[in-house]
Amino acid sequence: MLLSIPTLLLVAIFIFALMGLLTLHAWSRGVRERTLGYLGSMLLLAAGGTALISLRGNAPDFIALVLGNMVLLLSAALNWASMRAFSGRPAHLPGIFAGALFWFTWSLTPGFTDDLGLRVTVYSMLTACYGCLAVLELWRDRKRLEVAYLPTLLLLLGHSGFYCVRSFADHGVSLDQAITSNGRGTGFFSFMLFESMLYAIGIAYVTLAMVRERTELKFKAAAYTDPLTDIGNRRAFMSRGAELLADCARRGEPVSLLLCDLDHFKRLNDVYGHQTGDQALIAFSQVTRLSVREEDVFARIGGEEFACLLANTDEHSALRVARRICSSFYELPLLEPGLLSVSIGIVGASRPGEHDLSRLLSMADNALYTAKRQGRNRVQLYRPAAQPANTL
């Protein structure tokens, strides 16, 4: 049994408006995410367009056939704009208004009001095109989105596919026939309204979920990033370092820890100012990034103290990396030669039971203290007190 068309129209308008207002409320209360702004506007336009179309027979044809469908096409275009915004691209204004302008231009030609089937086909194709463009926006950026985009993608594909099918399967039914449930195509018209309501609820939910997930990822990244050097902070080092050590222990691989401390950093700040000190910290982080691999864990764990955990690296390989860092930093033209230097303590773990981060940090700090005491600007391997230290 088909539901009453007037009831479906009224419910559809209510749902579109409600979801639009709720989405705009989420936009206004949050970080002003453009995606939600476009999506909320899309849903409100869908409500307005549906209301205008429902006036067919009670208002001039221009309002229902022309203006109503123009508003609905703008709504479909804003769906595309919302996905562009989520992918980090600006709205394409000519594309947004192209469908509505085409419809308006076509409405000025003779015979526009006479061929219902052609109007249904053209409208459905334009709506499907906007849906496919939205799918394309998500698909081409899927690798860098870092959120669960698949539900949104499937919803967009289903919505676009429905209008693709409608463009050749539905020959149209006039509104008065639909209201009286009389005439071929009434069932398709009812299903279209029902699908539109489900899509409005679904797209609002999944898009809001994507926006929220990305916001949480940004906050998490900020909590684990040093704002000055743009590398990991102590929290990130302890978390990622523990994971790296567990992986190396499970595979039986050696690991080495480099603990680095810029020499005479307080004097550098006092003589040249804190801005120069900040530049020295940034320069050291850049030099070290070039000397380590992507799988290594590098972070600023204190004021002028940095740590680097090298995966699958024994002490001798770590010694070469540390010497390269030390030499590269010393030769930077940031200040006069000899004013920039770093001392580095190194400790390795190769046997079972040695892959403990707190223990390694303590031993590396011991080696670093010895390097400082023996003149700075040097690299030193950790050795128990009974063994001679290897220094540079």
pLDDT tens per residue across span 297-311: 999 999 999 999 999
180 pLDDT band, cuts 50/70/90, is: low
For residue range 86-101, list pLDDT tens digits in order. 998 999 999 999 999 9
**CB-based contact 382:318 (threshold 8 Å):** no
Q: Which of 53-57, 173-177, 197-201, 355-359 has the lowest average pLDDT?
A: 173-177
End-to-end C-alpha distance for the chain, whole angstroms: 87
Nearest CA to 153 among 128, 135, 131, 140? 135
Domains of the chain, CATH where assigned? 5-223 (1.20.1070), 234-381 (3.30.70.270)
Q: Which residue has the higher pLDDT, 54 or 199?
A: 199
CA distance linking residue 87 with residue 242, whole number of Å: 33
**pLDDT value at 126 more than 90:** yes
pLDDT at 386: 44
Task: Give the residue-averaged pLDDT of 25-36.
Answer: 84
Q: What is the pLDDT of residue 369?
A: 92
**What's the pLDDT score for residue 1?**
44
- Report the alpha-carbon distance of residue 296 to residue 307 in Å, rounded: 11
Examine the pLDDT at 13 and tell me if it is beyond 90.
yes
Digit-coded pLDDT (tens) for 336-383: 766 788 999 999 887 777 788 999 999 999 999 999 888 888 899 988
3-state DSSP assignment of residue 59? strand
* pLDDT confidence band for 225 (50 / 70 / 90): very high
Q: For residues 32-46, give the mean pLDDT.
A: 93
- Mean pLDDT in the chain? 88
Query: Which pTM was predicted?
Result: 0.75
pLDDT of residue 41: 96
Whether the per-residue pLDDT at 116 is higher than 90: the answer is no
Residue 391 backbone class (left: φ over 0; alpha: ψ -120 to 50; beta: rest): beta
pLDDT, mean of residues 191-211 = 93
At residue 362, the 3 state secondary structure works out as helix
Mean pLDDT, range 262-285, rounded to an integer: 90
